[in-house]
Structure 1
Amino acid sequence: MRQYLLSALLASAAGTVLADDPAVESYDYIVVGSGPGGGPLASDLARAGYSTLLIEAGDDQGSNKVYSELNNFNTAGNDERSLWNFWVKHSDDPERERKFEHYVYRQENGSYYIGLDPPAGAKPLGIQYPRAGTLGGCAMHNAGVCSLAQDDDWNIIVNKTGDTSWEAPKMRKYLIQVEKNLYVTNGSTPDHGFNGEFHYSSLAQSNDSDGKAYVSGTGFLSIDTSDARWARQKNMPAVKILQEMAKLTGQNESDVANLVTKDILGNYPNKDEQSSFYAMAQHMDALGRRSSPNTYIRATLNDPAKYPLTVKLNSLVTKVLFSKEGETPVATGVEVMQGKSVYRADPRNKPDTKGPLVQYKAKKEVIVSGGTFNSPQILKLSGIGPADELKKFNITVVKDLPGVGENLDDNYEGSLLALGKSPVGGGFITMLYRTPNAPTKKRNIFTWCGPFSFEGFWPGFPTDYGQNEYECAMVKIGTTSRAGYVRLTSADPRDPPDINFRFFEKNGEQDLQEFVDSANLLRKAWQAAGDAVLPFNEKHPCPGTGAGNCTDAEQREMIKTQAYSHHATSTCAIGGDDDKMAVLDSRFRVRGVKGLRVVDASSFPVVPGAFPVLPTMMLSAKAAEVIIAEAGKV
């Protein structure tokens, strides 16, 4: 069995190794970042027979139960062994920013202050946006929620680029490739993947551009659902709420016990227009253990087939290297700073932490998969991005691409949270539905309700309000703002970028009212809980007791200042040849250079649905197909 390759810190390699030095390690492909985009892609390339280097800035926590057991996700999100703290802005208005109830300050003694009334001398940091610097990326600290993109989210790429391989029905095969489904009877439907095997056959067959000739088997990602038998207990307050939610959204209230087991990944006609309950699907195995890119990377490394995958941990990519001998720059490798916690988003970082620099060669391509914040940062540090921004930091411009770091998109998130007189009981209620004022026939809210609290992120989140807490968390699907940005703060690759989401900058009133309509519908359903629970003492967005003690305008203002997010995408977006803000073409290639692609959530033109983790792994599978097909034709 192949030994698991960890990053060996090359103590003798002080300074930078010349890219043309024969001693420099050389690989067919270099993949930067091991999250939902890069981790599966590197594994697929290695399984196709290509020597592949996967570079991860963090270490490997895959054997740590904090990460490997999915129910520990809140602990994982706070764990400094993987935590990267990005302190972001939601707007250009400092006064509005300080109204965020969990705004974070650094006190003079070094500790955090979180709240609205900071002590004298406290330094404002911003709104916490935690990312996971570890093997497997943010799929290692998330809640594992799996849902699909809306069809329009795939079709927008077709409309922008003319590439029909992105049509929504064709994208289904990538779910089948990555998925090891555990909740549908094996083989009962062609719309799911089951056997958990994934391999590429002879590259001699790879001339089929659709990939069907050389992709066989299904994928690495176990997906399961939780027990929903609680929904059969008709006298439980949670079931009474469930029945009222069904009535208000046009579902059969007498059949809720079956409706809550509906397959959220099912292939239904006009699925994006259906208001319906679903079973909560998560990337986990039958024992509740996290399934992720980490498990796939490990399986690839340990496979007796000895696939040519090498993993370098504790390795921060500082820039992509280029050959500029011809008219078009060609990516030839990467420069890496080695060492633990060298990136300053890591709370363990010491300001003067610095590691040795080394370089690695790419014989074919470099693929950046650093995520929505770090992929544009890496491109800019490499000379690819808005020329004026690069010149500001004395970075030599390799290619002026004004869209790099722009178009930052995210789902707005908020919650209806209250305390009852007694526990509501039950498990998760998962529902996708359309609010009455939605501008199209498409559903626009993903909600999950249950006895929990989640109000966004801050050091030490979440607040535990006790056994009587009850919440419906809401994700706004299809936001229309996309006005945010990720920009450099310096030319030092250790410095996190400046991140501003500019929430509600465009069409904000429409999005806010959809949120309020959702809260009003859910609040109305809650009144069915019964006398043992009522009245709810609501914490937000309408504090107090009763079902309507504040106006829509008051709720809109509260949501505007307190909305949060953790599904950032689109800062290296795919777009058409006529779009000056497009960073990638439909085959993930960075425009204006050769040998360089970006494959991660930053590649999407818009957020894909309500939770992007599964669509990003599907996107990764498509990228593997594209890259391997191109390599086989050379």
Structure 2
Amino acid sequence: MDQFDYIIVGAGSAGCVLANRLSAEGSAGGKHKVLLLEAGPWDHRFWIQVPIGYGKTFYDGRFNWKYQTESDPGLGDRTSYWPRGKVIGGSSSINAMVYVRGQAEDFDDWEKAGNPGWGWRDVLPAYRRMEDHALGESPYHGTGGPLHVTEISKTAHPLTAEFIKAGQEAGLAFNPDLNGATQEGVGYYQITTRSGFRLSSARAYLWPALWRRNLVVRTNALATQIRFEGKRAVGVAYRYGNRVIEVRARREVILSGGAINSPQLLQLSGVGPAALLRSHGIAVVQDSPMVGRNLQDHLCYDHVYRARRPSLNNDLYPWWGKLRAALRYVLTRGGPLSLSVNQGGGFFRTRPDLARPDMQLYFSPLTYERTPPGIRPLMHPDPFPGFTTSASPCRPTSRGVLEIRSADPAAPPRIEPNYLTTEQDIADLLAGARFLRRLAATPALRDLIDTELKPGLGAHTDAEFIADIRARSYSVFHPCGSCGMGPDPARAVVDPRLKVHGLEALRVIDAAIFPSVTSGNINAPSIMVGERGADLVLEDAQRSVA
């Protein structure tokens, strides 16, 4: 049996960080032998590395788990599609690359919930260390780190400037850095690219470490079970082709499979709600009632417009436009293929009595109303100019549940998001919808809009808006919290050092540990959790040596 110091399950946003940090020269306790297991393939495909290529991987089962939730009463009994990366780099290889760190208060709330070491003063140094930020060194940003953050104000589509002007006309301040001193205001989103290529966690952290002889990466390796001796995790079994292979961990097993796969593997291995495990014939190693609970996600709601001026539709709909964009990208690494379609946005308070922003805005100079279902339409937009504005509440209060369906590791788990189960969440999205109409009435957008395609004239009253919200709102793919961090084993899965309560040598280090979802896109916080988690692992290794 192969033996390693650390076995990391999942080569996603956090897992790639851990593989780099734990295998580095001079790490505490000497040079550790590290194994990184990934259920998917390598990330060397062209459309993974091209930024706008996430339109190609959105439904590609070779690189994507393509999860479906259960039908949800809050969304009119609709199911939700949850793409998750099944590839080196995980979801950072297939996402929209928007870089949002969250509000300082998000992390102070984590700390106040009983998690020392996770306040803003603790996580900001990790953010600065991981960044190579285009805005340069400052109290809020770092340079020279592995993750380059690109500022797009000079390359975004011209309609994005009109959206930002409309935001200012609607009362929001222009914010030149949505990851700076404050998140509040309207501006251009920053994205994780470098020299025109997607900068996934794999490209930033794992690729530079692949030459290390003490780091082993195994792809197409589906982890099926954590092996225990008593309460101590001692290894992992994984499926490679038709074989089941076992590997042993001298120090720790670390789960970095994300908000779906980490709780799934815990449950398959006998760690979770005891009644659920027994119902599937799984021996209980640790009755941990919150494994798969506390599941959170951000919902988004769109208003879609036909425009009077050219949009990205005009660039990417005709075949000659696609060819021109492709040639520009090949020759210069620039143009629309080098960007995300989420180019503008911001954060604002829906009520003046709130202490901080509670709503996120998105702007996309693109529409795809005529695209057939099942096709991610970034390269197949509508044949007329159009754009989309969107609202997404920052901190939803609804909580979902994830449970295995059987003892089969290949069976997708049951996912119940329980969207819009609280009055607060409904009121927040209603406020967001009202603000989108307010934006549309500003001089900047009023002169730009030819027709409101959705929701259209059928939505004016609160009841009409709520009906449309239930019919059309959708996940923006930020699942987290399903192995939440906290001091109480009855209410959390991992402690503040990310160790699974009641067990030894087992941690979860990924977005599943979020006690509460951060304000905005969660890939940056997920990478930060990898950085902070690596700190904790190395600190404990140093103590064991001492």
**TM-score with structure 2 length normalisation?**
0.87
- Contact persistence 1:157–1:586 (CA under 8 A): no
Residues 239 and 308 of structure 1: CA distance in aligned 2, closer, same or farther (over 3 Å): closer
- Contact persistence 1:405–1:571 (CA under 8 A): yes
Work out the CA distance in 1 between the residues paired with 2:156 and 2:403.
48
Structure 2 counterpart of 1:323: 229
Residues 608 and 458 of structure 1: CA distance in aligned 2, closer, same or farther (over 3 Å): farther
Structure 1 counterpart of 2:236: 334
Residues 495 and 60 of structure 1: CA distance in aligned 2, closer, same or farther (over 3 Å): same
**Residue from 184, 189, 192 that aligns with 1:280:** 189
* 3-state secondary structure, aligned to 2:80: strand
**TM-score with structure 1 length normalisation?**
0.75
Work out the CA distance in 2 between the residues paired with 1:238 and 1:363.
52
The range that moved more, 605-614 or 384-393, is 605-614
Structure 2 counterpart of 1:517: 434
Residues 230 and 309 of structure 1: CA distance in aligned 2, closer, same or farther (over 3 Å): closer
Is 1:170 aligned to residue 72 of structure 2?
Answer: no
* Per-residue deviation, 1:559: 0.9
Is 1:476 aligned to residue 390 of structure 2?
Answer: no
Residues 432 and 239 of structure 1: CA distance in aligned 2, closer, same or farther (over 3 Å): closer
2:135 maps to amino acid: V
* Per-residue deviation, 1:162: 4.9
- Contact persistence 2:130–2:142 (CA under 8 A): yes
Identity across matched positions, percent: 26
* 3-state secondary structure, aligned to 1:166: coil
**Residue from 313, 322, 326 that aligns with 2:219:** 313
Structure 2 counterpart of 1:64: 45
Is 1:33 aligned to residue 13 of structure 2?
Answer: no
- Contact persistence 1:180–1:220 (CA under 8 A): yes
Is 1:597 aligned to residue 507 of structure 2?
Answer: yes
Structure 1 counterpart of 2:169: 247
Is 1:535 aligned to residue 461 of structure 2?
Answer: no
Is 1:79 aligned to residue 74 of structure 2?
Answer: no
Work out the CA distance in 2 between the residues paired with 1:42 and 1:457.
40
Residues 558 and 323 of structure 1: CA distance in aligned 2, closer, same or farther (over 3 Å): same
Residues 389 and 357 of structure 1: CA distance in aligned 2, closer, same or farther (over 3 Å): same
Structure 1 counterpart of 2:325: none
**Deviation string, structure 1 residues 447-468 (Cα, Å, up to 9, x no partner):** 2213213799962123622341
1:194 maps to amino acid: T
Structure 2 counterpart of 1:17: none
The range that moved more, 468-477 or 562-571, is 468-477
- Contact persistence 2:223–2:265 (CA under 8 A): yes
Q: How does 1:548-627 map to 2 (within 5 A)?
A: 550-565=460-475, 566-577=477-488, 580-627=490-537
Work out the CA distance in 1 between the residues paired with 2:110 and 2:372.
32
* Per-residue deviation, 1:473: 2.7
- Contact persistence 1:58–1:135 (CA under 8 A): yes
Work out the CA distance in 1 between the residues paired with 2:229 and 2:449.
69
* 3-state secondary structure, aligned to 1:403: coil
Is 1:445 aligned to residue 445 of structure 2?
Answer: no
**Deviation string, structure 1 residues 154-212 (Cα, Å, up to 9, x no partner):** 1222122251x21112211111121122x224xx42432222xxxxxxxxxxxxxxxxx
Work out the CA distance in 1 between the residues paired with 2:16 and 2:372.
25
Structure 2 counterpart of 1:300: 209
**Deviation string, structure 1 residues 31-74 (Cα, Å, up to 9, x no partner):** 0001011111121101122111000001102x221011112121
Structure 1 counterpart of 2:297: 410
**Deviation string, structure 1 residues 528-582 (Cα, Å, up to 9, x no partner):** 3465x4432x232x224xxx962232112111232111100000000122x6121
1:222 maps to amino acid: H
Runs (5+) with no aligned partner, structure 1: 1-23, 99-125, 196-218, 252-258, 340-354
* 3-state secondary structure, aligned to 1:432: strand
* Per-residue deviation, 1:239: 4.4
State the Cα RMSD in Å. Answer: 2.5
- Contact persistence 1:73–1:142 (CA under 8 A): yes
Residues 134 and 549 of structure 1: CA distance in aligned 2, closer, same or farther (over 3 Å): closer
Residues 412 and 623 of structure 1: CA distance in aligned 2, closer, same or farther (over 3 Å): same
* 3-state secondary structure, aligned to 2:107: helix
* Greater C-alpha Rg: 1
Runs (5+) with no aligned partner, structure 2: 313-335
Residues 476 and 530 of structure 1: CA distance in aligned 2, closer, same or farther (over 3 Å): closer
**Residue from 34, 37, 46 that aligns with 2:23:** 46
Is 1:384 aligned to residue 271 of structure 2?
Answer: yes
Is 1:147 aligned to residue 100 of structure 2?
Answer: yes
- Contact persistence 1:242–1:429 (CA under 8 A): no
- Contact persistence 2:166–2:439 (CA under 8 A): no
* 3-state secondary structure, aligned to 1:449: strand
